Chain A
């Protein structure tokens, strides 16, 4: 009995893990990730089934419709590997069970993967590295690449192994409270960080002049004497020192005090304009306006604002 037992080797599991990186390679509108899923399962099929009939059946049941978050396919792969292994050894696991587990897990898991990976980890890491990049730090793309892939590869391996070990139990396990907590925690962090980013990395400068008043002569540093002295070649160090002292004392060198619209807005709350713009964008997105049109629209706003001298 022990001699005949079919078992997936560690090497098989590693091959499946590597192949799961290519899950979406043949993404299509009909059955979505079906072929990529079969591609990832093939090392196991090769190991467990030796006759042609068995292989045809295995390929067919793994070419059914499948779609989830590409990273959350790994725990499902793990469970399916365990199921196929038991089936190859004679356990009574039919096609319905195998597809049922796949379909049953893919929906809820996709709902976890999208907010955690696409809407939290990548924007936060991306924004952090983008700020490094804008500061001309060459490490920015390297940090992004290394950190992301370390998280991803570790996650894929850990969840695949976890799924394999848990077998069928995983479905109950995942609904047992951990996942909602992780999703909720990540969403809170994500929303908080987005709030942080809005005033920091959005540049809106309203250069429009709201007021222009002549500064009182008493408050303006008199530079004329200094200029005359310099032109006549009689500049003395004390005159320069005197000017600096006046500046330090709080006098201005400008004849006019210009207040731009931006100064007025900043005195209310810095970042107010980007926040309002964001709320408008959210409203448009809610009305199912294609984001690309919103982007085009904002470009037009930028051009018109620049042309009219409001934005700069």
Chain B
């Protein structure tokens, strides 16, 4: 029974790995679901939280494919919460190579889908709406199987061999991996930052860093400070105030007040 749900959640994670809508592939959700299926919810939640921090910056931009959170979180969660009962540090260490493997699989499926797009063209020639729909759904199912099948393979091999293999890793490696697990998140932060950073934005990063390093303010207070700073910037920056409201045709813009515009329109 739990095996069925593990495979089901693995499938959902695979589907979401490409869709990026419901977020079943995000470690915090996927690991918790796999943990739930195995009856070890809490281990899944904790592993998911740790992996989530590592995967903060893993997202696809344009045609570039990011490391695959789906395969990494599903299989490492299965190893931690399933019969193998691997500890969380080892689970994290296993997740990274899996993210690479998943990335390769995604690229493979995305190439395969080129052929499916041409199949859809042939249905379009016949005016078959149903046919086009079916091809699309088929492609989506293949993306789900991309995670479900490797998961089934790990399950079929069994807990024993997996645990033995992981148990054979020397203490220096596991201890070292645990240490590295503490700071590996900087790569996640780095990927997010390298995508958004502009010279204008860097001061806000250092402001957040300094406040956080030396004060005890919690995250909610920090969030409020961040929002206030962002609103102040929009309000005061000449970049957004110089041209007034004239350039906007349809909105309920009342002139020069950007905060009002934001609040009114959203």
A176 contacts chain B at the CB level, 8 A cutoff: yes
CB distance from A178 to the nearest CB of B (A): 6
Contact of A202 with B183 in the complex, beta carbons under 8 Å: yes
Contact of B63 with A176 in the complex, beta carbons under 8 Å: no
SS of A interface (majority):
helix
A304: B residues at CB distance < 8 A: 176
Contact of B96 with A296 in the complex, beta carbons under 8 Å: yes
Among A166, A203, A296, the residue within 8 A (CB) of B250 is: A166
| With known contacts A35-B120, A177-B248, A45–B184 Cβ distance under 8 A | no
Contact of B219 with A196 in the complex, beta carbons under 8 Å: yes
B39: A residues at CB distance < 8 A: none
9-residue interface stretch from A83-91, A183-191, A210-218, A255-263: A183-191
Number of interface residues of B (CB under 8 A): 124
B206 contacts chain A at the CB level, 8 A cutoff: yes
Q: Which residue of A lies closest to B55 (CB)?
A: A126
| With known contacts A189-B230, A271-B213, A25–B176 Cβ distance under 8 A | no
CB distance from B44 to the nearest CB of A (A): 8
Q: Which residue of A lies closest to B185 (CB)?
A: A202
Contact of A299 with B177 in the complex, beta carbons under 8 Å: yes
Q: Which residue of B lies closest to A311 (CB)?
A: B179
| With known contacts A203-B183, A306-B172, A178–B261 Cβ distance under 8 A | yes
Among A133, A204, A294, the residue within 8 A (CB) of B28 is: A133
A39 contacts chain B at the CB level, 8 A cutoff: yes
Contact of B193 with A191 in the complex, beta carbons under 8 Å: yes
Contact of B240 with A126 in the complex, beta carbons under 8 Å: no
Number of interface residues of A (CB under 8 A): 117
B161 contacts chain A at the CB level, 8 A cutoff: no
Contact of B20 with A30 in the complex, beta carbons under 8 Å: no
Scoring B residues 102 to 131 as 1 if CB is less than 8 Å from chain A, else 0, what string do you get? 010000001101101100110111110100
A244 contacts chain B at the CB level, 8 A cutoff: no
Contact of B183 with A28 in the complex, beta carbons under 8 Å: no
CB distance from B230 to the nearest CB of A (A): 4
| With known contacts A138-B45, A298-B184, A191–B176 Cβ distance under 8 A | no
Contact of B208 with A191 in the complex, beta carbons under 8 Å: yes
Contact of A294 with B209 in the complex, beta carbons under 8 Å: no
A166: B residues at CB distance < 8 A: 250
Contact of B136 with A194 in the complex, beta carbons under 8 Å: no
Q: Which residue of B lies closest to A46 (CB)?
A: B129
B154 contacts chain A at the CB level, 8 A cutoff: no
Cα separation A63 to B201 with both chains bound (whole Å): 39
Q: Which residue of B lies closest to A40 (CB)?
A: B136
B247: A residues at CB distance < 8 A: 176-177
Q: Which residue of A lies closest to B206 (CB)?
A: A195
9-residue interface stretch from A1-9, A94-102, A111-119, A227-235: A111-119
6 contacts between A and B (CB under 8 A): A25-B136, A28-B139, A63-B117, A281-B187, A299-B180, A302-B181
Chain A positions near chain B (C-beta within 8 angstroms): 21-32, 34-36, 38-39, 42, 45-46, 52-53, 55-56, 59-60, 63, 67, 70, 110, 114-115, 118-120, 122-124, 126-134, 136-138, 140-141, 144-145, 148-149, 152, 166, 169, 172-173, 176-178, 180-182, 184-205, 269-272, 274-275, 277-278, 281-282, 285-286, 291-292, 294-296, 298-299, 301-307, 311-312
Chain B positions near chain A (C-beta within 8 angstroms): 15, 18-23, 26, 28-29, 31-33, 41-42, 45-46, 48-50, 52-57, 59, 61-63, 67, 93, 96, 99-100, 103, 110-111, 113-114, 116-117, 120-121, 123-127, 129, 132-133, 135-137, 139-140, 143, 172-173, 175-198, 201-202, 204-214, 219, 222-223, 225-227, 229-231, 233-234, 237, 239-240, 243, 245, 247-251, 253, 258, 261-262, 265-266
Taking A199-B212, A277-B183, A292-B103 as known contacts, 15 extra A-B pairs with beta carbons closer than 8 A to each other, sorted by chain A number, are A21-B19, A26-B117, A29-B114, A38-B120, A134-B46, A173-B250, A177-B247, A177-B261, A184-B240, A191-B208, A196-B209, A291-B67, A295-B96, A304-B176, A306-B175
